[in-house]
Each structure stands twice: as structure tokens, then as C-alpha cells.
Structure 1
């Protein structure tokens, strides 16, 4: 907290309006040092690591190009999934979903 406070004082000399917005947002909402409880004890999750892996070649792009990359990626995924199951009946499950349902059915027997 001491290091943060001293760096914040330096930043205040350059951008007091920015520091004021951070203070209004509340340090406890976004800064682990000021958080009253330990919400998370890790810095990343598998999802974050997966996204980082996907974006390793484009992460230095300007933010709008990066957003466009992710939009295209998600659109391509949904199209591929839609094509894969377009001829399936309405009640047919994907293999992943069928395995989940079976697992839950087996657990309910115990």
C-alpha cells in the first residue's frame, strides 16, 4: 500500500483529474491492496490464458483492431458450430453436452 500511495502521489502531480476519478471509483473495487477481503487468490484463470494464447499475435494492435479480431473470431466459431449441427434434430445434443447430461444422471443415482 505504501508503494501504491507514493506512486499515486507522483501521478497526482501529473494528472490530478485522473487520480480523482480513480478515487471516486474506489480503490477497494479494483486494487487488491485496498480490498477488504481476499476475493481472488490468483492473477489469471484458464479462460484468460486461453484468450492470451489466441491473441498472442494481435495483442499489440490498436484497441479497435483487437476488438474486430475478437468479433471475427467469435463469429467464425459460431458459424462453424452452426454448420456442424445444422442437420441435427432439435433434441439432439452435442457430444460434450451428452457427456455432461450422462455424468449428472449418474451422479443423481448416488
Structure 2
């Protein structure tokens, strides 16, 4: 139902990337309502699932986050090889999940350096101040807030010459020049 409502206002779903936890309802809703959109997993939620395999191995989770945020394929591959050598079960689970679901550098859409679903937490904090308003006022507030956020992201994306954000592009450029 939520995806159907969203589909009425999203004009280009083929350009959309939805980041979520592993909730199957989200995946199923996406497949039926937004079959051309991409789906990524929240790095934080994925890390929590991986911790089940390596509770006392902070080094493995550190490698996972470094791979997730890697800006170059060669850097990502190197970190994944290292991970496989120290904890093959976590490596294999990540490959099974699909590297394009969590890796910044392998994402098929512009991810704008958004790796987690902290946006949901941001939204919750914004709604605290209006929670006693009538539902129509709350709905209008949410529409306006999301419209501003998406507009700002779209404007930033149009000015971005690559699939990376300006900050990420500068970071990669600086690292390439220093090596």
C-alpha cells in the first residue's frame, strides 16, 4: 500500500534506489510496484546480521565497513580478499547477498554516499514535533519535507559528473593523485 502511494508521485522509478533492512515485505513491494528500481541494503543492518557469525571479531566488521565505503573497485576487491582469508563465512554471505546491494562502488544507481537508513531515524525525529497535529497536517508536512529532500538530492545529482557525489569524487581524485 505504501509503495502504491509512492508510485503515484515518483516520475522516474527506473532511476530510484531504495535502501532498506532485510525486511521481505519491502523487497516484495519493490518487485511488484517498482520492478525497474534498484534495491540496496542498509550497511548497519547488514553488519548486525553479520555479527551473528563473528561476535568477537571486530576486525571482520571493520573490513566490511571499509569495503562498503570503498570508492574504487580495486580497493573493494582487496578488502574482500582479506576478509575471505580471515573469515570466509562472512565473505561468502556478503557475496550471496550481492555486492551491489551494499557496496558503494558497485551500486547500479547514484547512492549519494547513503549507506544506512538513518533517513528513517531523521524522519522520526522530524515527526516528533508535529505528532499531535491532525493527520492531514502531518501528511502535508511529510510531503513537503520529502519533496524538499528529493529536490535537493536531484539538484545535486544533476551537477554531479560521475556516479559519485562531489565529496566522494574529490576523495577518489585526492587518493589517486597521492598514490
**Same structural fold, with TM-score higher than 0.5 when normalized by the shorter chain:** no
Higher relative contact order (CA 8 A, sep 6+): 2
Using structure 2 for the length normalisation, give the TM-score: 0.27
Using structure 1 for the length normalisation, give the TM-score: 0.41
Larger Rg: 1
Give 1 or 2: higher helix fraction.
Answer: 1
